[in-house]
Structure 1
Amino acid sequence: MIHEVDEALRRLVRDEALGEPAVEVSFEAPTKDWAARRNAPTVNLYLYDIREDMQRRQRGLVNAYDAEGAVTARYAPPRHVKLSYLLTAWTQRPEDEHRLLSNLLTGIIRHEALPPAMLTGSLAALGLPVPLSVALPPPQDRSFADVWTALGGELKPSLDVVVSSPLDAARRVAAGPPATEGMRITVGDDEPVGHLVPPDAARDGAPPRVAMVRRRTHR
């Protein structure tokens, strides 16, 4: 799933946000050694945080139906995982980096989700939106300065790109066949309620029985 988000972001950055094939797109950690090795204008998308999107978690199971409308299985709804990328531009001049960042911000902010045409593999198979945000304030438990300190580099202008990617929980429970025989409910004038008794509980070949409980009505 992560590599599929990487590929979608690569296409979004290169084909839509920039439109400049001469600019490289890298997912390597932007350390000092990496910066010294590059020899062309580069946009770096560094994945620095992975955590579940708790606001999108759903409880319970979802029914799967066949062509006749019968329940065939129950499965857990997909989870969502927030993938946070540090987006930076690397050129020889700060002015060019700022121009690239401006184009990236303009090209990404117009999308509330990754374009469906750019999704592949399991993301495309799920058929669910993949929410996308850019330049939002980071959570209180982390800061970009801490990320740069961990990378051993100097603080650099950057954009925070967050993708909330659905992930198939792969938990399914088979459903038994619907009960169609061996049960009977009768309703009389005195409003009895029938408690169902399966046919194997009947004795001596007696038909399926119904335990009746009368419900009193206060007038």
Structure 2
Amino acid sequence: MIADVQDALRELLYTEARLPRDALDIRFATPTSSWVSSLTRPTLNFFLFDLHENAALRSMEFHSMPLPGQVSRTLAPRRIDLKYLVTVFFKSQVDELGRDEWNVLWRVLGALLRQEEWDTAHVPAAVRALDLDLRGVVSNAPNQTNYSLFSSLGLPVRPHLTYALTVPLDLNVTNQSPLTLERQISLGEVTGPGGPRGLQVQGAERIVRSSWRVRLPDGTPAPEALVRANGSEVGFTDATGTVHLRLPREEVRELHVLTRDGQSLSIDPGEAFVTLPSPN
């Protein structure tokens, strides 16, 4: 994922900062003094010096996907902050002030500020597959850590940026469970003094419910369909084709479905999914 994101960042900068591909390299190296001395072309460098989870964006939700007879539930990806030290190195300067380096850094700053939330066109396929975006923030506060970084790399402090890019990390945590669900709800009634706190609770009613999903022949949900179980219990499917009936699954002997377009069918509920046959 990091390599995909860095390749995308390189293309974003060449495009958004209008940097010359044939005259300037964009690299992701550790800029030690010996590495800088080995450069033969002007180079914009992003040094990844830190990565940690963005706890503020952590989600413990599971995303559900229906499968035949069951539901696959996948834990949402974590979000990781990649922190870069951004510097520009020219082998030789036009003047002693290093204005060429400053001009490149200025263009890069403008491009990164315009792309705090990356346009979809720049987001790599590996990130789009997770249905998440990329977010980047340029730090505008002095950072003592950066000065220590230059010292540890054997470089004098030079104009630089600190860029934090938030990327998703898929943990591949998935579980599968049966699609048909049942619930048992016991209701109680307060009936006067008694018990350790002066109240007595008696059972009043027990509710058992099972859930079913009705699909059209092409596999899409069948919304607003009337479903009758055992000739008496009635319910309507929602937008996902799901209907809840006040019967336990094992007592459902027959399902009669009347679809929104007028199809009327009786179905043996042998599967958790109820798939309507194609009309003749």
Work out whether 1:100 is the aligned partner of 2:112. Answer: no
1:215 matched residue in structure 2 = none
Query: Given residue 176 of structure 1, which amino acid in structure 2 is its aligned partner?
Result: P
Which one scores higher on RCO, CA 8 angstroms, separation ≥ 6?
A: 1
Shift in alpha-carbon separation, 1:163–1:71, aligned structure 2, 3 A: farther
Instruction: In structure 1, list runs of 5 or more residues that go unmatched.
Output: 199-206, 209-219
- Considering fraction of residues, name the structure with more strand: 2
Shift in alpha-carbon separation, 1:184–1:156, aligned structure 2, 3 A: closer
- Rounded to whole Å, the distance in 2 between the matches of 1:131 and 1:52 is 14
Deviation per residue, 1:35-57 (Å, 9 max, x gap): 11111111011111111111100
1:113 and 1:130 in contact (8 A); partners too: yes
Shift in alpha-carbon separation, 1:197–1:61, aligned structure 2, 3 A: closer
Work out whether 1:13 is the aligned partner of 2:17. Answer: no
2:66 and 2:179 in contact (8 A); partners too: no
Give the counterpart of 2:180 among 178, 181, 204. 178
- After TM superposition, the score normalised by the length of structure 2 is 0.61
What is the deviation of 1:24? 0.7
What is the deviation of 1:196? 4.6
Instruction: In structure 2, list runs of 5 or more residues that go unmatched.
Output: 188-202, 211-249, 252-280
Percent same amino acid among aligned pairs?
25
What is the deviation of 1:134? 1.4
Query: Given residue 54 of structure 1, which amino acid in structure 2 is its aligned partner?
Result: A
Give the counterpart of 1:123 among 124, 127, 143. 127
- Rounded to whole Å, the distance in 2 between the matches of 1:19 and 1:152 is 28
Work out whether 1:194 is the aligned partner of 2:196. Answer: no
1:79 and 1:166 in contact (8 A); partners too: yes
Work out whether 1:40 is the aligned partner of 2:41. Answer: yes
Query: Given residue 28 of structure 1, which amino acid in structure 2 is its aligned partner?
Result: A
- Considering fraction of residues, name the structure with more helix: 1
Higher-Rg structure is 2
Q: CA RMSD in A?
A: 3.0
2:123 and 2:133 in contact (8 A); partners too: no
2:24 matched residue in structure 1 = 23
Shift in alpha-carbon separation, 1:15–1:193, aligned structure 2, 3 A: same
Work out whether 1:169 is the aligned partner of 2:171. Answer: yes
1:63 and 1:71 in contact (8 A); partners too: no
- After TM superposition, the score normalised by the length of structure 1 is 0.76
Task: Classify the secondary structure of the residue corresponding to 1:47.
Answer: strand
What is the deviation of 1:79? 0.2
1:8 and 1:118 in contact (8 A); partners too: yes
